[in-house]
Amino acid sequence: MPAVSKGDGMRGLAVFISDIRNCKSKEAEIKRINKELANIRSKFKGDKALDGYSKKKYVCKLLFIFLLGHDIDFGHMEAVNLLSSNKYTEKQIGYLFISVLVNSNSELIRLINNAIKNDLSSRNPTFMCLALHCIANVGSREMAEAFAGEIPRILVAGDTMDSVKQSAALCLLRLYKASPDLVLMGEWTSRVVHLLNDQHMGVVTAAISLITCLSSKNPDEFKTCVSLAVSRLSRIVSSASTDLQDYTYYFVPAPWLSCKLLRLLQCYPPPEDGAVKGRLVECLETILNKAQEPPKSKKVQHSNAKNAILFEAISLIIHYDSEPNLLVRACNQLGQFLQHRETNLRYLALESMCTLASSEFSHEAVKTHIETVINALKTERDVSVRQRAADLLYAMCDRSNAKQIVAEMLSYLETADYSIREEMVLKVAILAEKYAVDYSWYVDTILNLIRIAGDYVSEEVWYRVIQIVINRDDVQGYAAKTVFEALQAPACHENMVKVGGYILGEFGNLIAGDPRSSPLVQFNLLHSKFHLCSVPTRALLLSAYIKFINLFPETKATIQEVLRSDSQIRNSDVELQQRAVEYLKLSSIASTDVLATVLEEMPPFPERESSILAKLKKKKGPGAVSVELEDGKERGELNGGGDRGGDAAIAASNASTPSPSADLLGLRSTAPVSGTTPSAGSLLVDVFSEAGPSATSAGVNDDGFLSSAPPTVASEDPAPPLPESDELLNKFVCKNNGVLFENQLLQIGIKSEYRQNLGRMYLFYGNKTSVQFVSFNTTVSCPGELQSQLNVQTKTVEPLVEGGAQVQQVINIECLTDFIDAPLLNIKFRYGGALQNISLKLPVTINKFFQPTEMAAADFFQRWKQLSQPQQEAQKIFKASHGMDTEVLKAKLLGLGTALLENVDPNPENYVCAGVIQTKAQQVGCLLRLEPNAQAQMYRLTLRSSKDTVSQRVCDLLAEQF
């Protein structure tokens, strides 16, 4: 209840409240309230005038009854009457009642607005404050409409009292948050900014909240506040604790104001003016220095206030990310906090350090604390702190300490809290892959991971191991041996069985020489796990068995026996039964040659980014903070299309027979992957690029396992929206699959394959909404002379696309002769009545029709010389727009479609490639030479071909890629 002066202490109200409090039951309370309401009604009847005091008393009672949860449908008029009273307490109760009880569409609002207006213009500061508080408390649109013009005037008027200014600033902030379109600052801007210079600290504190909110919306208008804020901050920081008497909180001068100033500065980049910057750096240094001083008080409030400023300052330093000295100092300061006995401080220190670790200046400094952090991971009692420690370990990991960190995280995993296990598993998997120097270590780590926390190991993780093992010849034997040993444990996780089945099926022969792991032993080991596994795993194992037949003909009889048994050939699961039947037939009918062709070893997977990273990113919440920071700008659409593609693929594979065919594989091989185009300055992506060729596609699945055709792999890549369709074209120069286009409604995925001068492109139109698209229609057109250069045939799509569904369209392309432009794809459909019309360029470029040509050095130079006419050569010298990593370059050149020729150029830094472009009219031989200059970050690209237009076009296309 509001404080009331003596002699004004509404006895009736006190009695009523104590009556209510003394009620024994709900019923008694309701009776008492009914009685009181009847009493008030009879008093408000209107035949006799009430004095201000009783009016106030009864309005108070009504307010109390309302707050007890009863409906009040009268008394509003009396409350409004109170507003015009001259007594503070009466006015106050009137405003209180109105801010609690009056709804915005009440007819009284006009009267209320009038009363507020009167108070605002009354020049009585307390009345003005009351009115402002009421506006802020109601905060409705109507209020904003009525007063948004008035309040800024009060705020900046020279003669307004300080306390009113404070209220006005906060009131304006509230109105701005409620309806930003109504509060127009325009002319007031500069004067509001100058409030930062106000004498009164309270006004500054209130104003800075307003300015921070306004400037986060339109930073340019408020740019001037930076220098003012810096000077204000430096005055506070340099002042002695006694200078700002009323605003010193436990020996800390103006802590709230300091924090708000620092936060305001975080809305802007570092100041360009050297003097301002120097002053700011000085301030930050002083704050860091102060943290080192012995505390002036033992009270917790003192250290809280001090640390609040310190953490805000560190956030600012991290935000600027340009002062190595400060960054390192901040890091050291946080390092001290890591061992503080206050848990909250440790938590905050770990969290801030996570962001520090991503800065290149302080990364090394953060690394010095590794022991402490590991210790925190092991000994902290609070799971949220442990989680932060794990995040930090992940963030500070690099090649030098990867082994230690991964080992620590693995050992912690055994005892880790269940809530963070899955995330930990993903992190370990990513780190192990990212920093693996020695791939046997990688395999060991992941197998350990599956052993320790199998339940939390997602599909992506074990897909990834398989990809890496398949692509690395040197690790295959070791991997086979390790999985064989791991499988010998009496209880294996199912994921381990999956990895084991796959690897032994592929590379079991590498360890078959040892009598302890002879083919039959291997098979028996795998088969002993068979009955404990789920259907998908069993299907995979069946595939492994048929591979065994190919690898070890001596096991054929045993395996056929197994396949023939009723539990396989009459299995109730259609998939398993079909596999058993088909494999049995395959093994008994096909000759060894056919068998060997069908069941050939998996070809290496083309380059592809790790799908695990995408998975980690997908996990929302604070755990993903470091990842988000690192490549926040490049975050692609992670889920949407990928998942849907997967669903569709599964449906498709269920419908068709699981015979080994390239089509099937292509369909199945979609998994959500983030698209990260390598760019300088992005730590994570750089690191990924290093691991380029090994980081190959995730096209692993049980059907793909069998395929002998080169897999066409889907890679999901975010595409920019329409206007940049040229840039989009460039993205698809070196790859064939991905997300072509995406907006709120529609996602278009693309998958293409080319053979000689023919190409087939699958477009997947995914409806992202829950509403169906009607009159869905797509057309592909070849503008201008392209018509005679390309022959494009499309199949029509269904005019209806159900919500959440995906439709497929096949486009057949024939290259008649070389071409420059790209065909246009036009999509029209109706979504909820509105016509949508989207035009895109189809990513068909001349290089898609490259056939790689392998040739020796002599051969190459001979041909190079043959193509020496000036119009046959196209050359470009350009600056590197991405990193100059060898592996990435190689991958891109391969993606272009040419053969990369090793040991041809005398300079090992240079790359040479050769290929033939197949068109219907002719074949155009093409030679390429790329000479990077690491110092200057420049490339020289030379192309020679038998046709001048081709040289020029390919040169142009390729120049955009590096």
Partner 1 sequence: MIGGLFIYNHKGEVLISRVYRDDIGRNAVDAFRVNVIHARQQVRSPVTNIARTSFFHVKRSNIWLAAVTKQNVNAAMVFEFLYKMCDVMAAYFGKVSEENIKNNFVLIYELLDEILDFGYPQNSETGALKTFITQQGIKGQTKEEQSQITSQVTGQIGWRREGIKYRRNELFLDVLESVNLLMSPQGQVLSAHVSGRVVMKSYLSGMPECKFGMNDKIVIDKAGKGGVTDEVGKSDLGGGGSTSGKQSIAIDDCTFNQCVRLSKFDSERSISFIPPDGEYELMRYRTTKDIILPFRVIPLVREVGRTKLEVKVVIKSNFKPSLLAQKIEVRIPTPLNTSGVQVICMKGKAKYKASENAIVWKIKRMAGMKESQISAEIELLPTNDKKKWARPPISMNFEVPFAPSGLKVRYLKVFESKLNYSDHDVVKWVRYIGRSGIYETRC
Residues that bind partner 1 (CB under 8 A): 24-26, 31-32, 34-35, 37-39, 41-42, 44-45, 73-74, 76, 106-108
Using the Cα atoms of residue 359, residue 697, residue 440 and residue 623 in order, give the sign of their dihedral.
Answer: positive
Dig out the tokens for 259 from the structure. 């924090």
DSSP string, 512-561: TTSGGG-HHHHHHHHHHHHTTS-HHHHHHHHHHHHHHHHH-GGGHHHHHH
Nearer to partner 1, 42 or 591 (CB): 42
Nearer to partner 1, 98 or 713 (CB): 98
Write down the least CB distance from residue 30 to partner 1, Å.
Answer: 8
Burial of 62 (0-12, 13-18, 19+ CB in 10 A): buried
Quote the tokens at residue 568: 């396989």
Closer CB to partner 1, residue 35 or residue 177? Answer: 35
Question: Which residue's CB is nearer to partner 1, number 41 or number 564?
Answer: 41
Which lies closer to partner 1 via its Cβ, residue 69 or residue 906? 69
Question: Which of 30, 157 has the CB closer to partner 1?
Answer: 30
Please say whether the dihedral angle defined by the alpha carbons of residues 918, 923, 924 and 926, taken in this order, is positive or negative.
positive
Q: In whole angstroms, how close is the CB of 711 to partner 1 at the nearest point? A: 53
- Token pair, residue 265, equals 């500065």
**Chain centroid to CA 352:** 19
- Is the Cβ of residue 31 or residue 755 nearer to partner 1 in the bound state? 31
Q: Smallest gap, in angstroms, from Cβ of residue 743 to partner 1?
A: 46
What's the CA angle centered on 842, arms 839 and 846, to 5 degrees? 145
In whole angstroms, how close is the CB of 147 to partner 1 at the nearest point? 23
Residue with Cβ nearer partner 1 (69 or 621): 69
User: In angstroms, what is the minimal distance from the CB of 47 to partner 1?
Assistant: 9
Give min distance, CB of 386 to partner 1, in A: 33
Q: Which two tokens stand for residue 264?
A: 């305001």
* Minimum CB–partner distance for residue 45 and partner 1 (Å): 5
Given a contact cutoff of 8 angstroms between Cβ atoms, the answer to whether 36 and 61 are in contact is yes
| C-beta neighbour count of 275 within 10 angstroms | 10
Alpha-carbon gap, residue 128 to 121, rounded angstroms:
8
Task: Tell me the backbone φ, ψ of residue 839, rounded to 5 degrees.
Answer: -120, 135
Candidates 584, 575, 516, 576; CA nearest to 546 is 584
Residue with smaller CB distance to partner 1, 41 or 177: 41
Of residues 74 and 88, the one with the C-beta less far from partner 1: 74
Min dist CB 38 to partner 1, Å, is 3
Q: What is the DSSP string of 885-924?
A: -HHHHHHHHHHHTSEEETT-SSSTT-EEEEEEEE-SS-EE
8 A C-beta contact, residue 29 and residue 20: yes
Task: Output 59 or 310, the one with its CB closest to partner 1.
Answer: 59
Beta strands in 413-488 (DSSP E): none
Q: Please say which residue, 41 or 570, places its beta carbon nearer to partner 1.
A: 41
Q: Extract the tokens encoding 785.
A: 């002379």
Nearer to partner 1, 21 or 26 (CB): 26
**Whole-number minimum distance, CB 46 to partner 1, in Å?**
8
Shortest distance, position 73 Cβ to partner 1, whole Å: 4
Torsion on CA atoms 214, 219, 222, 223, rounded to nearest 10: 150
**What separation in angstroms does the CA of 560 have from each of 553, 567, 584?**
11, 13, 6
What is the rounded distance in angstroms from the CA atom of residue 96 to the CA atom of residue 85?
14
Question: CA-to-CA distance for 622 and 395, rounded, in angstroms?
Answer: 13
- Residue 50 CB, nearest approach to partner 1 (Å): 13
Tokens of 91: 């006015």
Residue closer to partner 1 (CB basis): 19 or 285: 19
Nearer to partner 1, 35 or 570 (CB): 35
Chain center to CA of 311: 25
Cβ neighbors of 657 (< 8 A, separation 6 or more) are 578, 582
CB of 108 to partner 1, least distance (A): 8
CB of 105 to partner 1, least distance (A): 11
Report in angstroms how near the CB of residue 76 gets to partner 1 at its nearest: 6
Q: How far is the CB of 833 from partner 1 (least distance, A)?
A: 36
Count the neighbouring beta carbons within 10 Å of the beta carbon of residue 179: 16
**CA distances, 748 to each of 381, 791, 823, 839 (Å):** 48, 22, 16, 12
The residue (of 47 and 220) whose beta carbon lies closer to partner 1 is 47
Bridge partners, 942 (sequence order): 875, 929
Query: Per-residue DSSP letters for 26-82?
Result: HHHHHHHHHHHHHHHHHHTTSSSPPPHHHHHHHHHHHHHHHHTT----S-HHHHHHH
Minimum distance of partner 1 from residue 20's CB (angstroms)? 13
